[in-house]
Structure 1
Amino acid sequence: MTTGTEANGGALLTASGALIEQTSFATIDAEAAPHAYDPDQWTLVRRLIHASGDFDFNGLTCFHPRAVAAGIAALEGGSPILCDVEMIRAGLSRTRMAEFGLAAHQLIDRPEVIAAARAQGTTRAVQAIRFARREGLLDGAVVGVGNAPTALLELIRLIREEDARPALILGMPVGFVSAAESKAALATLDAVPWILVSGRKGGSTLVVAALHALMILAAARRSEHA
């Protein structure tokens, strides 16, 4: 059964679309294995399953204890969203973003980022994170990493060595080189809240789904206090 929180997300859908979404969530609830997620966490995990058709995310998805609350507070406060690739930025609902005055940024295609990566022999993803730090876009941001493990590893380094403080990290890079390892490293952080998908699975679609889930939770909190 769809919760009231999930129903708030349906306001962006037609009646037919909302019915399909509600039926999908009801199917996921019925078919999912038992889990230990709290209701807010399950709202997010269920959307990952819905976006991927993969029930493995019931179990692979891990939460820092402060993650959901930090994400909601950051989005309510209009924090920037920093994306490792354009696919995440393009997938975000403009209507949901506008509700909170949010802006999403993707820096991997910036000429100076590309030039720095070539000059220093690093990936563009690494240089994009460094550029975000220099430009003041990293501290207080919600950072979504769905494709580039090197971006996540650089972000962790900046947190540990340079006291960078994003509001929340969505660590969900997909792949076979350093993806699982970068997320295992993220799981050791306590200073910054995170939500991650363990192992090799991940991707931009999951980061988008997680961000939408957090926006829906934030909208529900706003309605409760209106």
Structure 2
Amino acid sequence: MKIELENVRPMDIEKRSFEIITQELKESGKEIDEKLAPIIKRVIHTTADFEFADLLAFSDDVVEKTMEAIKNGAIIVTDTKMAMAGINKKVIHKYGGDVYCFISDDDVAKEAKERGVTRASVSMEKAAKMGKDVIFAIGNAPTALVRLYEMINEGKVDPKLIIGVPVGFVNVVQSKELIMDTNVPYIIAKGRKGGSTIAACICNAILYMMDETRGM
């Protein structure tokens, strides 16, 4: 059997990948909002899973609201070190923001153990106490989304955006539905699918849309 490879220059691989994604979405008859397309396509690019074209849910005007928050110095807080490491910091640093993850902090671990709750829950509480505008990017822990939902209702936090894409089986679907039941801007991956890489790539998609030095 003869296998033919595409001859693509290293710097053109991402561009070619997005061309393939765009073509396959068109061939499937799936219509997506042009304002949301960069996010949806980047998630598909990260996962090679076209189901995300249907799974991703967006609150009204979420891209515009998130960009405005970043321009005003909002920070990003993740629930995993992996997500934090995967987020491109260039644009958010330009506007005075940064990316944080408190999951491994000693004080978070100590309090979580004493209270019998997850470190993800306590790390959300720590973020809420920073006194900053926060974009939460949650790719692993549904308990983080549940605690955010509780704190929103308690008036303890007012997120500029919640990216809710934890992956798994226990309370994953329910935690995402809770966030969609708030008035907070959200980007949610409905169902069980998700992950830290998706949380990071959604952040990057928005940041890349703001980066005038990028060609795509």
Do the structures match in fold with TM over 0.5?
Answer: yes
Change (3 A) 1:131 1:73: same
String of CA shifts for 1:7-66, please: whole Å, max 9, x gaps: xxxxxxxx9444111111110111123334321211100000000110010100000003
Identity %: 32
Count residues with an aligned counterpart. 205
Structure 2, unpaired ranges of 5+ = 1-7
String of CA shifts for 1:64-110, please: whole Å, max 9, x gaps: 00311111112222211111111111111243444444310101111
Q: Which amino acid aligns with 2:164?
A: G
Other-structure match for 1:152:
145
Other-structure match for 2:83:
88
Counterpart secondary structure, 2:157: coil
Q: Which amino acid aligns with 2:39?
A: L
Other-structure match for 2:39:
44
Between Structure 1 and Structure 2, the one with more helix by share is 1
Counterpart secondary structure, 1:35: coil
- Aligned counterpart for 2:163 among listed residues 151, 160, 170: 170
- State the alpha-carbon separation in 1 of the partners of residues 43 and 158 from structure 2: 26
Other-structure match for 1:218:
210
- Aligned: 1:182 with 2:166: no
Other-structure match for 1:25:
18
- State the alpha-carbon separation in 2 of the partners of residues 17 and 75 from structure 1: 31
- Aligned counterpart for 2:189 among listed residues 188, 197, 212: 197
- State the alpha-carbon separation in 2 of the partners of residues 163 and 111 from structure 1: 23
- State the alpha-carbon separation in 2 of the partners of residues 42 and 77 from structure 1: 24
The 8 Å contact of residues 80 and 104 in structure 1, kept in 2 or not, is answered as: yes
